[in-house]
Structure 1
Amino acid sequence: MKYSLFKNMVYVYRRVFNFNKKLRFQIPLEMLSEILIPIMATVIPAIAVGLITDKASIQEFLLVMGGVTVLNAILLYLKQYLFTVIDMENTLARIQEFFFENSKKLMKTDYPNVEPQDKQILIQKAINSFSTNWVGIEFMMKSTPKFFVNIVGLITYGAMISSLNYIIIIILILMAVLNFILASYARNYDEKHKEDYVKYDRKIDYLYKNSTSLINGKDARIYKMETWFYNVFQQLIKKRVTWNKRVEYRYFLPSLSDNILLFIRDIVAYSMLISMVLDKEISVFTFTLFVGVIAGFSSWLNESVTAYSNLKRANMGVNDYRAYEEISEVFNHANGCEVPKPSDFPLTIEFKDVSFRYPGAERDTISNLNLKINGGSKIALVGNNGAGKTTLVKLLSGLYYPTEGKILVNGKSIKDYDIEEYYKLIGVVFQDVEVLAFTIAKNVAACEESMIDYSRINKCLELAGLKDKVDSLKDKEKTYITQSLNKDGILLSGGQMQRMMLARALYKNAPIIILDEPTSALDPIAESELYEKYNELTEDKTSLFISHRLASTKFCTRILFFENGKVAEDGTHEELMNMNGKYAQMFEIQSHYYKEEVGGEENEEFAL
C-alpha cells in the first residue's frame, strides 16, 4: 500500500516526536527563525535607505541599525544552534527509531518474508530508505520544516507584492509551475525504474560483504580473487552509475530551468519596479523594499517547489520502508493451541500428504510426502543433493508451512500452534554455520549475559566435544569469537564452529533436535567421537539427522533415503543394505574412501 505524502509526514513525525519530545518545541522555533531571518534581510536595507532619505541623525541611524542588526544576529545564532541540535536528533531518530525497528522486523518476521527474491528486493528498498541522511526517512525530516517555512514566506511576500502589482505574482507562479512539472517528471521516472537499479544495490552490497569478509580473506589471497572481485564490482558500479545518471539528469532539468527563469524573472520584475520609481509611483524606500521582497518571493517560491519535490522523493522512500514494515505475517501468532508439556515428551511427528513448492518455483521440492516419526526415534535422512532434505528441515522447523498437506506434532498441525511457542520445541544445527562476534557463552546460550546458565553451558560444550578447547583458552567460555568486538578474540576452525552450534542446540534442550550436516567440517576421527555420544546427545528426544556420510547412519534407529522430494527407501541400515537399492549403492561407493589395506586383506570397517 502506498500512502499519501501527508499521511507519511504524520507517520514519520509521530515516531520522531515519540523518540524525542523536545523536538515538538525545537522544530517550530527553528521554523520561526527560518522565516524571520529572510524577512530581516529584506527589511534591513530598506530601513537604512529610509533613514537616509528621511535625513535621520547619526545617532538615530546607529541606534536603529544597531538594534535590528543585534536582533538579526540573535536570530542567526538561534537558527544555527537549533539546526545543529535538530540535525543530530534527526540522525539519531533515523538510526534508533527506524533502523533498529527495521532490524527487529527482519529478525522477527516470518521466514517466507525474508528468503524469496521478491522479498529481498522489498528489504533492499526499505534499507535504502534509511541508508543515508539524504534519502527516505531522514530526507523527509529535513524537507518537511523547509516546505512549511517556504509556504509561510511565500504567502507573506505574495500578499505584499499583490498590493503593488499582481502581474509580477502571475509571472513568478507560471515559472514555478513549469519547474514543478519538470520535477514531477523526474520523480515519476525514478519511481518507475526503482527496481531496475535496486537489484544492482543488492548485488554490490553482497559482493562488498563477501569480498571484505574475514572468512573469505584466505581464499581471496590464495586464489588471487581480488582482480575478479574488482572487475565484477566495476561492472556493477558502472551499471548502477548509469542508472544514477539517468535519474539525476531528470532531476537536473528543473534546476537548469530554474536558473534560466531566474534571469527572465529579474529582467521583468526589476524593469517594472524601475519604471514605477522613475514615474514616481513609488518612493526609493518602497523600491528598495520591494526589490528585496520580489527576490525573496522568488526564492520562497522556488524553494517551495524544491522542498515539495524533495518531499515527494522522500515519500517514495518512506513508502518503501512502510511496505516492508507492514508486510503481512504468514504464520499463526499469539492465538495458537497449547504446546506439548515435558510430560508429553518425546514427541511424535507426522507428515500427511505434504507437498511444498518455493515461491516462484515451477515444481514441488517435496511432493505428497507421508511419513511418521515415533517419539524418541533417531532418524537419519540421506540422499543426493537437491533431493529436498534441507527443505524438509525448514518445514519441520516451522520456517515454512507446507503448500499442501499437514505436519503434525503430537497430533496437532504446526499451523495450529503459535509459531513463537512452536519454535521452543525445535533445536536445529543448520548446514550453514554462522557464528556471532560475541563470547562463546553468548553464542551457545543465544541470550543476554544475565540469563546464561554457565554450568549448563559447560555441560553442552562437553557433550559437543568442545570443552577441552574452551578450557585451554585464557577467558574460557567468555572468550570472544573473532576480533571484531574484542582484540583478544579467537578464530575457530570449521569443525569447532559446528561443535559450538551443536552445543547451542543442546543448550536449548528442545524435545525435537534436527542436525543438518552437523559433521561436514569434521575429520573422520572427530566425527567418530561425536557419534559415539550420539545416543547421549539425543536422549529422550525425537531427532532427525541429515548427512551425506552414510557411515554415520548406522547409529540411527531408522534411515530414510530421500529422492525427488519423496522417501524412496525406508528401514534400518541392515534392511536397506539387504534391499540392495540406491542406499546400498551409495554406501558401497562411499565405503571405498574408508577401506584400508591391512596385511594384504581389506579391512572394510569404517574409521568411526
Structure 2
Amino acid sequence: MYVKVKEKAMDKSEPKSFWSNIILLFRFIAGIDKKIFIWLGISVCISALIPFPYILLSRKVIDSFANGADYSATVKIIVIMAVSGWLIKTMNQFINTELDKKVKRLEYEAIQRLFYKMSVLDYVLLDDADTKDKFGKATKCVMALNFYELILSVRTFFSSILILLGVLGIIASVDVWLLIIVSFVIVVNAYANSRLKKYRYKIDNELWPIDRQMEWYMQFSANIEYAKEIRVNQLQKFIFDKYRKLSDTYYKLLDQITNSEGAVKHIGLFLSMLQENMAYLVLGYKILVEKTLTVGDFTMTFSAIASFKDACSGIIDGVIEVLNRGRYFSKYLEFMDLEGNSSKGDVPVTINPVQGAEIEFSHVSFRYPNQKEYALKDINVKLSPFTRVAVIGDNGAGKTTFIKLLCRLYEPDEGIISLNGKDIRTYDYKEYQKILAVVFQDYKLFSFSVRENILFSNEGKIKDEEIYGKAKLLGADSIISKLPEGLDTLLFKDYDVSGVNLSGGEGQKIAILRALFKQSEIMILDEPTAALDPDAEKKIYEGFEMLTRGKTAIYISHRLASARYCDVILVFKDGRLCEQGSHEELIGMDGEYKRLYRIQADYYAD
C-alpha cells in the first residue's frame, strides 16, 4: 500500500499570507516555550525606544548652541541624552542576548524534533523523492539559521511599527509633503524587493534538486565504499564531467539572482538620493523662506525622517523576510506533519513461550510504489511455531519483499498477514518490532563501539562473558578479542581516526550477534552468510541452530546450504511462491528447488 501525505497536513502547513506565517510560528513557539513571548515582547518595546532620545533631545542641543544658551544647561541636556541612550541600548543588548539564547534553544528543539521525525517516518516514505526534497528544505529551515532569522524578523517588524508610530507625528507636524515623499520611496523600494524575493524563491526551487545532486556527488567522492570503483574503473573524469555540468547550471541560476539583486540595488540608490535631496529642498524652504523652522527643528526632522525610513524598511523587510523564510518554515511544518497510511495498531503483542508464534500469509499481493508489476502475487503459506524456514529463489523472485512485508516496512495491497490468528496491522507497531530480530542483506553497523552495536540500549545489562559466549558459537569471539579495545573499540573512522574498519564477513558476524541479543521470538536472516567462506558459513548455521532453539527462524539465501538446516523450504519465482516443503519432499518433486539445487551441486562438484 502506497503511503500518502494527509491533505489536512498539507493545507495546514502552506500559509499564503504574512499573518498566517505569524500565527503558525506563534503556535509552534507556544507548544515549546511560552516564556519566549515575554522576552520577545520586552525586546520589541525596548528596541523601539532606541532612536527617540537622540531625535527629541538633539533639537534642544542644536538650538542651545545656535541661540547662545547657557553652556551648563546644554551640557545637562547632552548628559541626559547620552545616559538615556546608553541605558536603553544596554537594556536592549541584555534583553536581546537572553532572547537569542531562548531562540537558539527553540531552534535546537526544532532540530531534535526533525531528527526524531525522520527516524520514525514510515519506511515507504524514506524512499520517496518528494519526501527527500521536503526533508532537505525542512533541514535548511532549522540548520541554515532560517528559523532563527524568522523569529528575529518578527521582532524587527513589530518594533519598527512602534518606531513608525512615534516618528509619524514628528514628521507630519513639520510638513505633510515630507511624509508623502518618504512614503513614496519606501513603497517603490518595497515593491521592488518583494518582486526580488519572490523571484529568488522561484530560483531556489530550481536550485534544490541540483544542490541535492551536487551534495550527493561530493559525499560519495569522499566515501571509501566508492573509492575502489572510482579508481579501478577510472571514473574520475566521467564523474567530474557530470558534476561540472550540474555546477554550471547551478551557478547560472545564481547569476540570475545576482543580476536581479544588482538591479534592485540601483533602484534603491537612486530613490534614496532623490528622497534626501527633496527633503533638503522642503526643509530649506521652511527655514530660509517661511522661517518657520529652527536649525534644531531641521536636525530633529532629518533624524525623524531617517528613523521613519528605517522603520518603514524594517516593516517591509520584516514582511518580506517572514513571507520568504516562512516558506521554509512551512516546509518544516509540512515535513513534520507527514503521516502515512501504515497502520500503527494498538493491540498488545503477547506470545506464549510454550505456544510460540504462528505466521500466516493469506492471498498476499504487493506492488512497490509507482510500479505496475507485482513484486509478490497471491502468497499463501502458514509457518508453524518454532519452525526453521529457508526462503530461496533467484534474484528478484520476491524473497526480500516477503520479509519486508512481515517486518511491516510495507503493507500488502491485497490479503492479510497474521500472527497467531490476528492481522499484524492490528498489533502495536513498536511492540511488534520487538518480537523481530532481523539481519538484512545490506545490514548496517554504526560508528559506535562494538558493545553498543551489539547491545544498543541493553548496554550495561548484559555481562561480557555472555557476549563472548554467544560470539564463540558464531566464530565472532576471535574478531572481538583482536580489536584494540575489545568490545569498547569504536567502529569506523567517520568522526574518530582511532575507529576500526571490519571486513564484510567480520561485520556480518557482529550483525548476527546483535540480532541474537535482541532476544526476539522471530529471527530473520537475509543472506546471513553472503560474505563468509564455507567453513565460517557452516559454523554460523550450527551455532545459530543452537542459539535459536525455542524461536521461529527464517533464512533467506541464494546458497542452498541453509535449506539442509531447515524444517520448511519456501521457493519463490517471479513473485510467486511456487513450492514449499522439506528438502527431501522438494527434491522428489523435480521442480524449481531441484533445478536450483542441481545447479549449485554441479558448480561445487566442478
Structure 1 length as normaliser, TM-score? 0.89
The answer to whether the aligner puts 1:302 opposite 2:318 as a matched pair is no
1:282 to 293, 311, 314: 293
Aligned to 2:331: 320
Deviations 1:68-104 (A, max 9, x none): 223323444444454455445533432x211111101
Checking the alignment, whether the CA contact within 8 Å between 2:182 and 2:305 is kept in structure 1 is no
Q: Say whether the 8 Å CA contact 1:258–1:302 is kept in structure 2.
A: no
1:293 corresponds to which residue? Answer: 304
The letter for the 2-side match of 1:339 is: V
Residue 331 in structure 1 maps to residue 332 in structure 2: no
Quick check: 1:132 aligned with 2:131? no
User: Against the structure 1 CA distance between its residues 197 and 586, is the aligned structure 2 distance closer, same or farther, given a 3 Å change threshold?
Assistant: farther
* Structural mapping, 1:295-444, within 5 Å: 295-333=306-344, 336-343=346-353, 345-444=355-454
Q: Counterparts of 2:472 and 2:532 in 1: how far apart (Å)?
A: 16
| SS of aligned partner of 2:208 | helix
Distance 2:355 2:521 in 1: 7
1:47-58 maps to which residues of 2 (within 5 A)?
47-58=60-71
* Cα distance in structure 2, aligned partners of 1:345 and 1:455: 30
Determine whether 1:98 maps to 2:110. Answer: yes
Residue identity in the other structure for 1:280? K
Determine whether 1:536 maps to 2:546.
yes
Partner of 2:3: none
Shift of 1:409: 0.9
Which segment drifts farther, 17-26 or 165-174? Answer: 17-26
- Rounded to whole Å, the distance in 2 between the matches of 1:349 and 1:382 is 18
One-letter code aligned to 1:321: Y
Q: Is the 8 A contact 1:15 1:97 kept in 2?
A: no
Report the Cα distance in structure 2 between the residues aligned to 1:336 and 1:344, rounded to whole angstroms: 24
Shift of 1:236: 2.8
Structure 1 distance, partners of 2:292, 2:200, is 49
Distance apart, 1:285 and its partner CA? 1.5
Q: Displacement, 1:109?
A: 2.3
Cα distance change on mapping 1:117 and 1:390 into 2, 3 Å: farther
Mapping of residues 97-496 of structure 1, within 5 Å? 97-133=109-145, 135=146, 137-191=147-201, 195-220=205-230, 225-247=235-257, 249-250=259-260, 254-278=264-288, 279-333=290-344, 336-343=346-353, 345-447=355-457, 449-452=459-462, 454-484=464-494, 486=496, 488-496=498-506
Q: Would the aligned equivalents of 2:192 and 2:264 in 1 still touch at CA under 8 Å?
A: yes
SS of corresponding position for 1:591: helix
How far residue 219 of structure 1 moved from its aligned partner, in angstroms, is 4.7
1:380·1:547 contact (CA, 8 Å) conserved in 2?
Answer: yes
Deviation at 1:448, TM superposition (A): 6.1
The change in CA–CA distance for 1:20 and 1:322 in structure 2 (over 3 A counts) is closer
Give the letter for the 1:69 counterpart: A
| 1:118 partner letter | D
Q: What SS class does the counterpart of residue 242 from structure 1 fall into? A: helix
**Aligned 8 A contact 1:110 1:399 in 2:** yes
- The one-letter amino acid of 2:77's match is V
Q: 1:195 to 1:348 in 2, by over 3 A?
A: farther
CA–CA distance in structure 1, aligned partners of residues 286 and 198 of structure 2? 43
Letter of the 1:438 partner, please give it: F
Counterpart of 2:55 in structure 1: which amino acid?
Answer: T
Cα distance in 1 between the residues matched to 2:18 and 2:362: 49
TM-aligned CA deviation for residue 228 of structure 1: 4.5
Cα 1:34–1:224 change in 2 (3 A) is farther
SS at match of 1:480: coil
Secondary structure of the residue that 1:594 maps to in structure 2? helix
TM-score under structure 2 normalisation? 0.89
- Of the three residues 68, 75, 78, the one matched with 1:62 is 75
Q: Is the contact made by 2:287 and 2:293 (CA closer than 8 Å) also made in structure 1?
A: yes
Shift of the 251–419 alpha-carbon distance from structure 1 to 2, 3 Å rule, reads farther
Q: Secondary structure at the match of 1:343?
A: coil
| 8 A Cα contact 1:345 1:540, kept in partner | no
Compare 277-286 and 27-36 and name the one that shifted more.
27-36
**Is this contact kept in 2: 1:99–1:130, CA < 8 A?**
yes
CA 1:18 to 1:374, structure 2 compared with 1: closer, same or farther past 3 Å? closer
Query: Whole-Å Cα distance in 2 between the matches of residues 514 and 381 of structure 1?
Result: 10
State the match for 1:501 in structure 2: 511
Provide the secondary structure at the position in 1 that maps to 2:396: coil
What is the percent sequence identity of the aligned residues? 27
- Cα pair 1:551 1:587 within 8 Å, conserved: no
Structure 1, unmatched stretches of 5+, are 597-608
Q: CA deviation at 1:504?
A: 1.3
Letter in 1 for 2:331: D
Give the root-mean-square deviation of aligned CA atoms: 2.8
Q: For residue 269 of structure 1, give the secondary structure of its aligned residue in structure 2.
A: helix
Match status 1:42 vs 2:55: yes
Change (3 A) 1:28 1:208: same
| CA distance in 2: counterparts of 1:454 and 1:251, whole angstroms | 64
- d(CA) in 2 for partners of 1:256, 1:554: 80
Residue equivalent to 2:22: 9
The answer to whether the 8 Å contact 1:331/1:419 transfers is no
SS across alignment from 2:457:
coil
For 1:405 and 1:191, locate their aligned partners in 2 and report how far apart those are by CA, in whole Å.
46
